[in-house]
Amino acid sequence: MAIYADTAWAKVNLALHVRRRRPDGYHDIETLFAFAEDGDRLTATPADRLTLNVTGPFAAALDGDGDDNLVLRAARALADACGIAAGAALTLDKRLPVASGIGGGSADAAAALRLLARLWGVSVPPDLAITIGADVPACLASVTARGEGRGERLQDLGDGLAGRPMLLVNPGVAVSTGQVFARWDGVDRGALGAGDPLQAAVAGRNDLELPARAIAPEIDAVLNALAAQPGAGLVRMSGSGATCLALFESAAARDAADAAIGGLRPDWWRLATSLR
């Protein structure tokens, strides 16, 4: 029996500017999306109905999701949109922490769309991803991109950052995206710059960092630990937290930082990776 597989690459926000709260309750943002070379892993085999089995180190965090898991929501949405009556037996190897600002659920949903489109022989309708979640369109493409609107208006920024060593660190605290946005002070601090993505990121900011730090003060310790590492360039919280990232000029510097932080705080989750 054929086995289909896809990677749900970890999403990071190199910068995230929140511009305003819209009448529909969502927020207009300007962000720089980038993706790690690593992430969750999704596999599927043909079946009569849709089922999902979750394994991996963070499987327990999804125990209560049931049929509301984003993978199943994406699968049902694609089947409905394309008139598919067949199913699939899906297995999600959950390697990324949940509610951590690196798009785990959105990346899983995007992987499901890509994988099932191949299995069922269909194309993903252009406007389907945004109905599942604000980050799903970016995760569907999984390329370095500027995102505007809710994040669904994407401009591909090319592969100039591909291969850049990156260290992700999470203090083991789940942070609710809704709660973080609710604590945003509503102040528009200006537009995200254009041009070179890394220069724009360095000149930018993450407007969700302060409210996230108020909810999870552990983020302060992660940012400080990353900033103290030799060779760390851009250091920033990703998304609504609590995962933080640091970009390095060399894999050796990244790996040394990974070892140092692991020795300092072995209870923190870490991922030594690179941008794809």
Residue showing tokens 């849709």: 50
- Give me the mean pLDDT over the 135-153 stretch: 98
Total structural domains in the chain? Answer: 2
100-5-79 Cα angle (round to 5): 85
For 197-208, the pLDDT digits (tens) are: 999 999 999 999
Same domain, 108 and 19: yes
Q: Are residues 145 and 250 in the same domain?
A: no
- Verify that 142 and 171 share a domain, yes or no: no
- Name the pLDDT band for 76 (thresholds 50, 70, 90): very high
pLDDT tier at 106 (50, 70, 90 boundaries)? very high
Both 88 and 141 in a single domain?
yes
Mean pLDDT of 238-267: 98
Q: What percent of the chain has pLDDT over 70?
A: 100
Tell me the per-residue pLDDT of 86-102, one tens digit each, with 9 for 90 and over: 999 999 999 999 999 99
Tell me if 16 sits within 8 A of 56, measured CB to CB: no
Helix (H, G, I), strand (E, B) or coil at 219: helix
Q: What is the pLDDT of residues 147-197, one digit of tens each?
A: 999 999 999 999 999 999 999 999 999 999 999 999 999 999 999 999 999
Write b or e for each residue in 230-252: b if 16 or more Cβ atoms lie within 10 A of its Cβ, otherwise e: eebebbbbbbbbbbbbbbbeeee
Q: What is the model's pLDDT at position 65?
A: 75
- Taking all residues of the chain, what is their mean pLDDT, rounded to a whole number? 97
- Considering the domain architecture, whether residues 33 and 151 belong to the same structural domain is answered as yes
- How far is it, in rounded angstroms, from Cα 239 to Cα 22? 19
CATH of the domain at 205: 3.30.70.890
Helices (H) and strands (E) in the chain, counts: 9, 10
* Domain shared by 22 and 144, yes or no: yes
The residues annotated with a catalytic role in the active site are: 11, 135
30 and 97 share a domain? Answer: yes
Task: Answer yes or no: do 9 and 58 share one domain.
Answer: yes
Q: Tell me which residue range forms the domain holding 237.
A: 165-274
In the DSSP assignment, the letter for residue 3 is -
Residue 66 has pLDDT above 90, yes or no: no
Would you state the pLDDT for residue 153?
97
Cα separation, 72 vs 78, in Å, equals: 10
208/73 same-domain check: no
Last residue of a domain, one of 132, 156, 180: 156
Of the residues 130, 156, 182, which one is the last residue of a structural domain? 156
Of 156, 190, 219, the residue that ends a domain is 156
CATH number, position 100: 3.30.230.10
